Amino acid sequence: METGAAMRLFVAVVDAGSFSEAGRRLGLAPSSVSRGVSSLEDKLGVRLLDRTTRRLALTEAGRLYHERAARVLADMEAANQAVSRFEASPRGTLRLNTGVVFGRLHVAPALPEFLRRYPEITVDLTLTDNYVDLVEEGADLAIRIGELRDSALIARKLAPNRRIICASPAYFEAHGRPEQPRDLCDHNCLAYKFQAGGKHTWRLRAPDGEDQAVAVEGNLYVNNADALHAAALEGLGVVILPSWVVGPDIQAGKLCIAFPGWQVTPTAMDTAIYAVYPHNRHLSPRVRAFIDYLVEVIGPRPYWEAGLEL
């Protein structure tokens, strides 16, 4: 028997006054309790109890050991309760990782209210578009968009990830509004730079489910959604961007959807927006609190799509 368990049995026997009463309190047979105390005495090499048919009496060594052991067990119980209280309420440092644009637009603005709700939490936020190994970096949680590559992560869906083709009212007023996707051939289509220059192919799905592919060209190719967004707002051309980037400006009338009722044909990057965390890590109250908070803030239909005809 381990020393800690035997120590508990010994203190229980002394406090109860007998092996039988200690066994009753612990749900053990008196013989098991007696063997446990004998095992402890053997390990210590000293007799702790004088046993008679009528009563148990502490030896001098037994009195000293009981005093110290009772203190140790009380400290252990206090430590356990302290940890339980700590784990029961959200506190500590939340190490969070998210992409630069989504983090700037939707995570950072949500943090002040979250921290007001949970004043014992500190957030350590990293914004990066590079893939981060959460375990290696010691991160608690990440916000990932699109197809999840790492099967070692547990994911909770926060929102769909939809892309929208849009432009500013000023652009459509100056260049006309395309009636069909094929009309995009006659427009300045600003593209995310997966490849340098040349034509890019945009794929759309009609309300009847038919997919159409259109080769488009433009005078701006950039590898950053913020830059495309800014160019569209300035009336430079037509863009294809996530609803979580352009949705608020469409709601405000600063951008217009090119083809209401049509969808950008989904790809692996369009699956969803997820909160992910390592499967081998205990989900702490602070991580759970932040995920639940994001779900609440984003809403059943993402707030950035409210009122949009998608």
144-163 pLDDT, tens digit per residue, is 998 887 667 889 999 999 99
Tokens read off for 241: 């961007």
pLDDT at 86: 57
Q: Please say if the pLDDT value at position 7 is more than 90.
A: no
DSSP annotation of 241 reads E
Show the domains of the chain with their CATH numbers. 3-87 (1.10.10.10), 92-161+271-305 (3.40.190.10), 163-268 (3.40.190.290)
Rounded percentage of the chain residues whose pLDDT exceeds 70: 93
**What is the per-residue pLDDT across 235-245, written as a single tens digit (0 to 9) for each?**
999 999 999 99
CA–CA distance, 248 with 263 (Å, rounded to integer):
18
The answer to whether the beta carbons of residues 14 and 66 sit under 8 Å apart is yes
The pair of three-digit structure tokens given for residue 296, joined into one six-digit string: 């609440």
DSSP SS3 for 216:
strand
Instruction: Give kind and range of the element (H or E) at residue 138.
Output: none
Tokens of 193: 């730079």
* pLDDT tens-place string over residues 236-282: 999 999 999 999 999 999 999 999 989 999 887 788 999 999 876 67
What confidence tens digit (pLDDT) does each residue in 77-86 have?
Answer: 777 666 665 5
pLDDT of residue 281: 61
Q: Is the pTM of this model over 0.85?
A: no
Q: Rounded CA gap, 240 and 32, in Å? A: 74
Q: What type of residue is 238?
A: V
Q: Work out the end-to-end distance of the chain between its first and last CA atoms, rounded to an integer number of angstroms.
A: 67
Burial of 234 (0-12, 13-18, 19+ CB in 10 A): exposed
